[in-house]
Amino acid sequence: MKISATWLREFVDLNVDNRRLADDLTSIGAGVEAILGQGDAAIFDVEITTNRPDEMNHYGLAREAAAIHDRRLRTIEPDLPKAARAAPIPIEIQEPDLCPRFTARALSDVRIEPSPARIADRLTLLDQRPISNAVDATNYVLWEMGKPTHVFDLDLLEGGKLVIRRARPGEILKTLDGIERTLTNDDLVVADARKPVGLAGVMGGFDTMITAKTRNILIESAWWDPITIRKASKRHGLHTDASHRFERGADFESTVVSTNRVAQLILASGGGKLVGDVVDAIAKRIDQAPVALHISEVRRALGEEPGISEILRILRSLGFEVAPETNDASEWTVEIPSWRLDVEREIDLIEEIARLYGYDRFPNTLPAYSGAVIELPDAKKEATVRSRLLALGYDETVSLSFASPEDGARFSPGLGIEIANPLSEEASVMRTSMVPGMLNMLTYNLNRGNDDVRLFEIGNVYEFLADRPLESKRGSFGATGNVLAPGVYQPARPYSFFDMKGDIETLLEVFDYPSVAFDAHAADYYHPLRRARALLHGATVAQFGQIHPDIAARRKLRQDVFLGELYLDQLYRHALRQPGYQALPRYPAVKRDFSFTFADAVRFQEIETAVGALGIKELRTLVPLEIFRSGTVPAGKYSLLLRATFQSQERTLREYEVADWSAEIIRRLEELGGSLRS
Amino acid sequence: MGPYRLHMKTKTAPYAATKLSDYTPGALDDAVTMLLCAVDSEAAALEDESEWKAFRDRWMARKNGILTQINDLWLKPAPRDAKREVGQRVNEMRSRVEDTVEQAAERCRQSASQAHLASDWIDISLPGIRRPLGAEHPVIKTMNEIVSIFRNLGYSVEEGPEIETDYYNFESLNFPPNHPARDTQDTLFIGQQDSKPLRDRLLLRTHTSPVQIRTMEKLKPPIRIVIPGKVYRKDPPDASHSPMFHQIEGLAVDYHIKFGDLKGTLDHFIKALLGSTVKTRFRPSFFPFTEPSAEMMVSCFICGGSGWRAADPCRPCKQSGWIEILGCGMVDPNVFEFVKQNGYDPAQVTGFAFGMGVDRLALLKYGVDDIQLFFQGDVRFLKQFG
Ligand SMILES: [Zn+2]
């Protein structure tokens, strides 16, 4: 909000320069973000919090400045000529709860013309466009004392009276901005005997506005129910300077003075006469109950500062009336000024005290604490998973939690959660899978020439379960390009399915489980022959593989892309593995190599299971060393070099024992259809 | 080594022992000097172990070695009166030759292993083989740093749902329905909620503050918690806005907490995060769920508070020397009213709460100029934080 320093200083004598004044206002909560311009044109750009409509004008900020510097604030008392006698304009308030007060007065024989330079220049300085002396007078008063007012062409008001009523459903009002608005029964209007002439507290009517032809004027200054104004403003998409103030709460006692101030400004610039007295219709008083202030409560919130006389000085300087006068009471009754609708409770007064005393004057202390520190159940697991993924060479990423409806449906069977007011169609559902986000990030990299990429993300996916939103913890990781870059030491080695499988194995190792099983039942967006899932105790904890070539083609991915998903919520059901000590072997290991030919249909898992079933407890590992196809190996078969390592914890193995075991292994593998090569 | 060796090999004819014609001390001196010179220069020319063996045999072989010859040629024919003198000289000479041969052996062995090492030569100026490590995301890293500072102060970590109800996101935080304060939170709403009562309608939480109430419903006072997490606003993406970002919320409720405790805790925190030289300032602000409310500013850690970076105005602090870091305040008694049943009687307990945008802190801390970089997964960006 723009505030002219010179205008503000009209209401209070301050012997500080503008920079200091800006700092002072900032320190009590009216943050001056910048000082623009010099001298009389100096403008403060002030950020005023939504709870302080009373500060959203020059007089209100002058009041704060006067309180800071303990100066007297001048009152606004418009000096008006004697009015010609006339019958008061009848004002009929049909909704006293929504319009507790409506003040008006009439002027006759006014010349509508441009405002005098002093008024026009001030408005221009605040980026307000001068329109005419009558309209500018209301605008001037708005920026001067924060009270929205309105002026009608009195001759266009039919029936000689004003009615404040609910609109009739379907009633039409053309507002000042030229737009015809269809009203509902929830809208409150100012109407003449026939028609609505203003949307209450939001905007006046087009048909009764001041024009060059206007001679007689009616000035309105009312107090409206904030919620009614806010709803109307939202309903009609019409946020105005008036609605902004009314919905935050205007000063109930300012309706007469603002009416008179507008009248004074119009008379000064456009001549004319006052016709009749001010009409002040009060349908209902706004009750601002006095608040009790206990010194014990001040101390409980703020500590030992400030002292009592300072507390009382601060409150009085802001316009609060405090009784009794004495400093040695333990409780005071505080009357709240009409412009401070935000102050209703003792804590509100305590905030005023702290604010004016100066937050920075309170000593910094650290409180003692005797409560417990509680760990989140999965915090350590997540930290372990994360650090292992980092160690495996995946960069950590964060992607937005939104997805497009197509991606939502393509990558998950779950029931997506729609956003009612999304920023875009591509971000209109909550993600049901981490895959689209990961794919997008990999694509983003490939499109920018980043060929070697490994990423992971830990986050939530969202779906409805019955009617309730369910957020589940997931991990995703993706890779493309080379694991090893080509160089003088080695040729390039592209990332493969088995890199991902190995990384998953390494990752799962941090958890405590007897065994992990892999099978090929993974989602259909993976390559049908290069996909797998990992199961612990029959529960899927991961699925991964190469992305389906169709999807890769549709996304124009120019190299193989691998994706993995971790069902962290499932995985976190397992405890972290506690490392345990095992005695180091004291006897040497014996290695035996076997070269076999198998039909392609025999998979390594079967070989491993078959050998495992022999129950040779001295068999430590069985590792596939080499696989050959083609060459001397007939089509449909492959040659496999296996290395078995035997070791005992109790003794050195005898040659004949190893020979016996080897023979068992060979026999078992021959039963599987393998044939031993030489 | 080459030219030196050539030089040695093309030297004068090899030493040969001859009879002495003269046994005067002067003549003896000359003969001894000549022999010792010869053995030294031959030893110096040796290159490997086989050469050394020949050298050793030439001088020390029992049969016909030069030392044996000297015995026969010098000592045996010596006149009686010179015999003692010659014998002594020959003995000294023998031990000198033996030492020389021994030292030559040592040197030959060393040069042999050196020759072998030479074949192990590598160009150590070639680049090392790097194993790629993953890089932490700057926002998560910053978030973890912040959480760990508060953990050290005795705060527990809490979490809560990102899809919240109006009740937890607004109502119980003292944002009444139709209150203008709701306008400051551009909310993304979940679809098809109109049939529910307002308080049950779902939305994407606009702050991590709802977890304050959720935690106070669950745990009795005193409590100290921090709440890291994702939050959402209907902000179109640009260099400084993202519809999703990260917040850390903090809440301390106890029987003795005062305004100074809020200031002291946050002052301590920001010094732990940014270094002990930063200064803090607190300014009045407004949040519906705290009162008094404040904003904490820190002296600009980009320009050191001067407002200038060399000749350029400091943009992060708009030349003011101060940066707004977080919002905070004493818990509003109205908030406690919502959890009064669980021991949070506003007449008994006080507390403070604070909340900060982690992404913005990370932007400032690392000098990143576009928040979108945090959410694109560009490895050229991510690798900078490895
Ligand atoms: Zn700076």
What is the CATH number for A611?
A: 3.30.70.380
Burial degree of A673 (CB within 10 A; 0-12, 13-18, 19+): middle
Residues A300 and A262 in one domain: no
pLDDT at B269: 96
Closest to A455 (Cα-Cα) out of A563, A548, A557: A563
Phi, psi of B254 (to 5 degrees): -160, -175
| SS3 category, A24 | helix
**A115, A133 Cβ separation under 8 angstroms:** yes
Low-confidence ranges of chain A (pLDDT < 50): none
Residue A369 is assigned to a structural domain of this protein? no
Whole-number Å distance, alpha carbon A220 to ligand 1 midpoint, is 48
Residues A278 and A295 in one domain: no
Residues A270 and A396 in one domain: no
Chain A, nearest residue to B231 by Cα = A401
Residue of B185, B187, B382 to mutate, testing the A interface (most A Cβ within 10 Å of its Cβ):
B382
| SS3 category, A178 | coil
**B385, B166 Cβ separation under 8 angstroms:** no
Q: How far apart are CA A435 and CA A413, in angstroms?
A: 13
Chain B residues close to A417, C-beta within 8 Å: 163, 190-191
pLDDT at B75: 84
Residues B149 and B260 in one domain: yes
Output the average pLDDT for chain B.
90
DSSP letters, B304-331, are: TTSSEETTEEPTTTTTSSEEEEEEEEEE
Residues A349 and A483 in one domain: no
CA angle A187, A188, A191 (to 5 degrees): 125
Q: Do A487 and B131 touch (CB under 8 A)?
A: no
Q: How far is A441 from chain B (nearest CA, A)?
A: 5
Q: Is the pLDDT of residue B202 over 70?
A: yes
Chain A residues close to B263, C-beta within 8 Å: 359, 362, 364-365
B313-333 tens-digit pLDDT: 888 888 888 999 999 999 999
Q: Do B223 and A371 touch (CB under 8 A)?
A: yes
Structural domain of A272? 91-282
Residue B193 is assigned to a structural domain of this protein? no
Q: How confident is the model at residue B179 (pLDDT cuts 50, 70, 90)?
A: confident
Partnered with residue A206 across adjacent β-strands are none
pLDDT at A521: 94
Residues B355 and B320 in one domain: yes
Q: Is the pLDDT of residue B2 over 60?
A: no
Q: How far apart are CA B121 and CA A425, in angstroms?
A: 63
Q: Do B140 and A367 touch (CB under 8 A)?
A: no
Partnered with residue B156 across adjacent β-strands are B225
Q: How confident is the model at residue B1 (pLDDT cuts 50, 70, 90)?
A: very low
pLDDT at A372: 83
Whole-number Å distance, alpha carbon A219 to ligand 1 midpoint, is 49
Residues A269 and A357 in one domain: no
Torsion of CA B146, B147, B149, B152, to 10 degrees: 180
Residues B98 and B145 in one domain: no
CATH label of the domain that carries residue A350: 3.30.56.10
> A229, A252, A282 — which closes off a domain?
A282
Residue A504 is assigned to a structural domain of this protein? yes
Residue B327 is assigned to a structural domain of this protein? yes
Which of A50, A231, A302 lies at the smallest CB-CB distance from B286?
Answer: A50
Residues A22 and A100 in one domain: no
Residues A296 and A428 in one domain: no
pLDDT at B153: 93
A75-95 tens-digit pLDDT: 999 999 998 898 889 999 999
Looking at chain B from residue 343 to 362, which residues have their Cβ under 8 Å from any Cβ of chain A? Answer: 350
A125-173 tens-digit pLDDT: 999 999 999 999 999 999 999 999 999 999 999 998 999 999 999 999 9
pLDDT at A271: 86
Chain A residues close to B147, C-beta within 8 Å: none
Q: How far apart are CA B64 and CA A303, in angstroms?
A: 110
Chain A residues close to B126, C-beta within 8 Å: 488
Residues B276 and B321 in one domain: yes
Chain B residues close to A507, C-beta within 8 Å: none
What value does the mean pLDDT take over residues B168-195? Answer: 88
CA angle A303, A306, A310 (to 5 degrees): 155
B248-277 tens-digit pLDDT: 999 999 999 999 999 999 999 999 999 999
Looking at chain A from residue 464 to 503, which residues have their Cβ under 8 Å from any Cβ of chain B? Answer: 469, 471, 487-489
| SS3 category, B292 | strand
Q: Do A345 and B333 touch (CB under 8 A)?
A: yes
Residue B168 is assigned to a structural domain of this protein? no
CATH label of the domain that carries residue B303: 3.30.930.10
Distances in whole angstroms, Cα of residue A66 to Cα of each of A24, A465, B15, B139 = 11, 59, 116, 44
For chain A, how many structural domains are there in total?
Answer: 5
Residues A117 and A38 in one domain: no
Residues A273 and A298 in one domain: no
Residues A429 and A501 in one domain: yes
Q: Do A369 and B154 touch (CB under 8 A)?
A: yes
**A620, A583 Cβ separation under 8 angstroms:** no
Residues B222 and B366 in one domain: yes
Backbone conformation region of residue A174, classed left if phi is above 0, alpha if psi is from -120 to 50, else beta: beta
Chain A, chain B: beta-carbon pairs less than 8 Å apart:
238
Q: How confident is the model at residue B3 (pLDDT cuts 50, 70, 90)?
A: very low
Residues B87 and B214 in one domain: no
Residues B107 and B142 in one domain: no
Closest to B335 (Cα-Cα) out of B326, B323, B345, B327: B345
pLDDT at A355: 96
Residues A105 and A221 in one domain: yes
Residue of A47, A48, A340, A365 to mutate, testing the B interface (most B Cβ within 10 Å of its Cβ):
A365
Residue B118 is assigned to a structural domain of this protein? no
Structural domain of B63? 25-113
pLDDT at B319: 83
Residue B44 is assigned to a structural domain of this protein? yes
| SS3 category, A277 | strand
Closest to A250 (Cα-Cα) out of A226, A280, A285: A226
Whole-number Å distance, alpha carbon A266 to ligand 1 midpoint, is 48
Looking at chain B from residue 63 to 102, which residues have their Cβ under 8 Å from any Cβ of chain A? Answer: none
Residue A184 is assigned to a structural domain of this protein? yes
For chain B, how many structural domains are there in total?
Answer: 2
Looking at chain B from residue 202 to 221, which residues have their Cβ under 8 Å from any Cβ of chain A? Answer: 202, 204, 219, 221
Chain B, nearest residue to A427 by Cα = B243
Q: Is the pLDDT of residue B109 over 90?
A: no
